């Protein structure tokens, strides 16, 4: 086949991917990539395309982040502010493109694993059928008496051949049983891999939603600044420097949290964070940043009740719609029943997070702990507070989050320690790659923490 051109000038030579021709129009277009992967490329070449685009976008992001850093060091003018926002919007667009690619790539992995699970299950079924045939043959032979076997054998040699046949059947039976055990072990490994891939896909979808939300806010900020003159912009900068006025605004701002009836003000949340700092050593600005990020995630997934402790199914609180996967029965339902019983709560009328399109829900309160993880910190909370920890109580949720984060390095109060702890809090891993896209979560938490630190310093100056 002669090489031909696709839209966005993407070159295919005999339907093979030419990675040198990658550009933003291709890598930033999920529709074009879907078209190519579904109709023109093999699965292997589609994966090469996804990986190539991930690398291309990562390089472009690094270039933009370098430009943003330079712009931030320049004089504060309206033009520089708008330029900085333009760069940030472009950077967020690249991150969203990367997340889209990651979602598609993980979709491939999940499909492969599901197919492998199906094939392994079929093999186990085939081996069981073979064992059934052998057992029936052995059973039929066992029903014969020694005299019946002797009489049915023409010669003594036939009699011994029959004994050898039975021994062979028994040996074959043992071999098949061993094969089934091996297949079952492999099947469990595949199921574990599928669960990890599904959890990864859920996390990536969450990351993408946070990126889209931030992108939308930055665009609004840009529109605001486009409507200003240079004089108006400089006047706003001067007004922001009014410490007393600024402190009052910060203190009164609502600090939104998921899973609580009445959200505290930022000033109230800061006082709780300072109390937790005295117990754990965690930096208040960092703790508030993590909880703010979790709150944003919680708002996206909604709120549910558990309705079936056997299956983990539940309902959406507002609509009553039945959902599967509200809570993982083998991991979280048991601990959840223990937690709610200890607190005197109705387990079927206590709000937890809803599942996304993949994975499980079941996270509790402002800190969004799943029940099995909360149980790990239950005794430590009780030792500190003298009472059972309540995931839906703001103070207890703040304290549990701080204990978790300090266990994974946040107590060091360094960039790397806090970034790593935030990543583990979100996904259980601190790996940063262009392929899992998780690095955005840690970066965003640190960025929020920097902003909060500036605001907290203003609060302290006015005391």
Cα separation, 43 vs 45, in Å, equals: 6
> Which residues form the domain of 261?
242-461
149 has pLDDT over 70: no
- Confidence at 36, pLDDT banded by 50, 70, 90: confident
Q: Which residue has the higher pLDDT, 107 or 173?
A: 107
DSSP 333: I
Tell me: pLDDT of 141 over 50.
Answer: yes
User: 281: domain CATH number?
Assistant: 1.10.530.10
> How sure is the predictor about 13, in pLDDT bands with cuts at 50, 70 and 90?
very low
Name 305's bridge partners: 315
Q: What integer pLDDT is reported at residue 242 of this predicted model? A: 58
Cα(346)–Cα(348) distance, integer angstroms: 5
Phi, psi of 353 (to 5 degrees): -70, 150
- Asked whether 327 and 362 are in contact (CB, 8 A), the reply is yes
Query: Is 272 within a domain?
Result: yes
State residue 306's pLDDT score.
96
pLDDT in tens, 190-210: 888 888 788 778 777 877 887
Tokens of 388: 């059972």
If you average pLDDT over every residue of the chain, what do you get?
Answer: 80
Give the whole-angstrom CA distance, residue 302 versus residue 206: 13
| pLDDT for position 274 | 92
Is 168 within a domain?
Answer: no
Query: Is 172 within the bounds of a domain?
Result: no
Residue 118: alpha-carbon gap to chain centroid: 25
Within a domain: 360:
yes
Q: How confident is the model at residue 449 (pLDDT cuts 50, 70, 90)?
A: very high
**369 - beta bridge partners?**
364
Are 391 and 403 in contact, with CB atoms under 8 Å apart? Answer: no
Cβ–Cβ under 8 Å, residues 375 and 410: no
Q: Determine the pLDDT at residue 260.
A: 61
H or E stretch covering 448: helix 439-461
Q: Look at the block and give the residue holding tokens 């990890």.
A: 196
Cα-based distances in Å from 17 to 30, 40, 54, 139: 16, 10, 14, 59
Q: Does residue 225 sit within a domain?
A: no
* 219 located within any domain: no
Checking if the pLDDT of 253 tops 70, the result is: yes
- Closest to 105 in 3D by CA, of 54, 149, 159: 54
Let me know if residue 180 belongs to a domain: no
pLDDT in tens, 293-305: 877 554 434 489 9
Tally of structural domains, the chain: 1
pLDDT digits 0-9 by tens, 44-63: 888 888 888 888 888 888 88
More confident residue, 198 or 357: 198
pLDDT in tens, 311-349: 999 999 989 999 999 999 999 999 999 999 999 999 999
Q: How many Cβ atoms from other residues are within 10 Å of residue 170's Cβ?
A: 12
328 domain residue, yes or no: yes
């Amino acid at each position: 086949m002669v090489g031909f051109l696709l839209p966005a000038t993407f070159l295919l030579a005999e339907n093979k991917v030419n990675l040198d021709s990658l550009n933003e129009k291709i890598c930033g277009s999920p529709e074009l990539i879907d078209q190519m992967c579904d109709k023109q490329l093999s699965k292997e070449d589609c994966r090469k395309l996804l990986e190539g685009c991930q690398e291309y976008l990562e390089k472009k992001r690094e270039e933009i982040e370098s430009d943003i850093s330079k712009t931030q060091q320049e004089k504060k003018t309206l033009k520089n502010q708008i330029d900085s926002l333009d760069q940030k919007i472009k950077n967020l667009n690249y991150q969203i493109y990367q997340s889209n690619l990651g979602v598609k790539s993980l979709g491939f992995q999940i499909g492969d694993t599901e197919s492998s699970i199906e094939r392994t299950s079929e093999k186990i079924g085939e081996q069981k059928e073979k064992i059934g045939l052998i057992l029936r043959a052995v059973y039929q032979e066992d029903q014969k008496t020694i005299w019946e076997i002797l009489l049915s054998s023409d010669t003594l040699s036939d009699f011994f051949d029959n004994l050898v046949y039975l021994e062979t059947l028994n040996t074959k039976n043992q071999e098949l049983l061993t094969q089934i055990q091996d297949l079952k072990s492999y099947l469990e490994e595949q199921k574990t891999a599928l669960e990890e891939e599904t959890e990864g896909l859920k996390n990536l979808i969450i990351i993408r939603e946070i990126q889209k939300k931030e992108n939308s806010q930055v665009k609004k900020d840009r529109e605001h600044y486009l409507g200003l003159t240079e004089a108006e912009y400089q006047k706003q900068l001067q007004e922001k420097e009014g410490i007393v006025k600024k402190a009052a605004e910060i203190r009164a701002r609502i600090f939104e949290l998921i899973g609580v009836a009445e959200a505290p003000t930022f000033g109230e949340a800061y006082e709780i964070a300072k109390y937790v700092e005295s117990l754990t050593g965690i930096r208040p600005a960092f703790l508030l940043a993590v909880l703010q990020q979790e709150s944003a995630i919680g708002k996206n997934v909604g709120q549910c009740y558990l309705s079936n402790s056997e299956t983990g199914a539940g309902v959406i609180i507002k609509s009553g719609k039945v959902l599967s996967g509200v809570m993982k029965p083998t991991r979280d339902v048991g601990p959840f029943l223990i937690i709610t019983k200890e607190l005197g709560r109705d387990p079927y009328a206590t709000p937890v997070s809803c599942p996304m399109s993949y994975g499980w829900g079941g996270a509790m309160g402002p800190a969004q702990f799943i029940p099995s993880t909360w149980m790990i910190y239950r005794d430590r909370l009780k030792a500190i507070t003298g009472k059972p920890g309540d995931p839906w109580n703001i103070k207890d949720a703040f304290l549990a989050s701080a204990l978790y984060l300090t266990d994974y390095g946040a107590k060091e109060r360094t960039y790397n320690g806090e970034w790593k702890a935030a990543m583990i809090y979100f996904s259980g891993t601190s790996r940063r790659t262009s392929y899992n896209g998780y690095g955005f979560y840690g970066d965003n938490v640190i960025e929020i923490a920097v902003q909060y630190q500036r605001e907290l310093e203003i609060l302290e100056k006015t005391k």
